[in-house]
Amino acid sequence: MTTKRGNHPSTKRGKHTSTCPKTRRRLLKLEKDNRITGIKHGAIDNARTKYGAGHLKFQRYVDAGMKINCYMDGAVLTVYLYCDAVHKKAVRALLDS
């Protein structure tokens, strides 16, 4: 069984799912929320940042949801959260909590 977005069976995630443990826990909390219809992992960039592992930072709204950065140990992962337009602000508030 595959989801509407992605090839990973029976989850809301896309094909690429590797993250550090702290970031994985934060993304799993988001994935359990009913307002989020899908999560797609994008590119990983190596970078030193002031944010610790597991920090999620909103970047911008896109047509189908929003783009966020997930900070890991020495890397930044781009993640796209898919949600309906009526839930975008509620999902952003969930990121800040």
Amino acid 8: pLDDT: 47
What pLDDT tens digit does each residue of the chain (97 aa) get?
444 555 444 455 555 567 788 888 888 888 888 999 988 988 888 888 888 888 999 999 999 999 999 998 888 999 999 999 999 999 999 888 7
Amino acid 41: pLDDT: 87
Residues 6+ apart with CB under 8 A from 22: 52, 53, 54, 72
For 79, list phi and psi in degrees, rounded to 5. Answer: -130, 140
Distance between CA 40 and CA 15 in Å, rounded?
A: 8
Amino acid 67: pLDDT: 95
